[in-house]
Amino acid sequence: METLSLPTLPLFFSFFITIYLFGYFKIFKAWTGICRPEASSCLISLAHGTPAFLLSTLSLHHHPTTTFASPNTHFQNTILNYSIAYFITDTLHYLLFIPTDVLFIIHHVATLYVLATCRFLVGHGAIAILSLLALAEVTSACQNAWSLSKLARTAVSPPCSAAAGGGAVYELLSPVFYGFYSVVRGVFGPIFVYRIWVFLGSGGGEGVIPKWVWVSWMVVIVSAIWLSMLWVLNLWIEYFRGRRKKEQMKMKES
């Protein structure tokens, strides 16, 4: 287990704050209302998601023979620091601009708990956590492109070609993103969680990862998967409801 006095965490935090402010004051300065900070949040999510997926995958390939309870390597701790810095930044965004979104704030705080206990408390289990992080962030680019296109439909006042273009991209991306997200979170996510649960539940982490720690990890992760599946299910319902309305309108016009 290492101490908290590592330079990469404040460095990464400064990195995400800088990107957020750049998005807020430069890239999205013409966007109105809550869309402006929301788009800035998407920007830092883009800066985190795909790099975190690639770095986590690289880390897993570099240590193929380790177990879910192996000691964290320096590289793995650096990736955890990167993700911790992102979630701190995005949590601050929600506390400042959308404090009523309690569920999302709880999600971020719970994720920070898992990352921080793996990184600073037990110093083991990064293979398990980074495996799940890679799965969670593999959809990041698609999700943020979808989110930005959704915001762009109403973000610019008065309406302009950017809003129209955002609507077209949103319509195109929606079924692609929903399908991709459903497969990753609904199929591969539970498979990996089950493997980790079986390993740790059979005593694989005994002596290095206390039972209360890995059980709390499982509670947070399983809850996150269930909530994400409910979220995407609701998106699918809205999508097919919207398609049905459009078909009905076409039938009336014809």
For the chain (254 residues), the mean pLDDT of every run of 10, in chain order, is 63 97 95 92 97 95 84 95 98 97 95 97 96 96 94 64 64 95 96 96 95 97 95 95 82 68
Report the distance separating Cα 111 and Cα 221, nearest Å.
8
At 246 the pLDDT is 78
pLDDT score for 9: 94
% helix, strand, coil for the chain, step of 5: 80, 0, 20
The tokens for 140 are: 């990041």
Other Cβ atoms closer than 10 A to 154: 16
Predicted pLDDT of residue 239? 94
Residue type, 232: V
pLDDT of residue 156: 58
Type of residue found at 235: L
Q: Which residue has the tokens 């809550």?
A: 34
Around Cβ 24, how many Cβ atoms within 10 Å?
Answer: 19
Query: What is the distance between the alpha carbons of residues 156 and 27, in angstroms, rounded to a whole number?
Result: 12
Residues 6 or more apart whose CB falls under 8 angstroms from that of 99 comprise 105
Q: H or E stretch including 115?
A: helix 102-116
Residue 71, strand partner residues: 124
Q: Are 185 and 225 in contact (CB under 8 A)?
A: yes
28: its two tokens: 């999205």
List the structure tokens of 13: 């935090």
Task: Quote the CA–CA distance of 29 and 40 in Å, as a whole number.
Answer: 10
- CB–CB of 124/114 below 8 Å? no
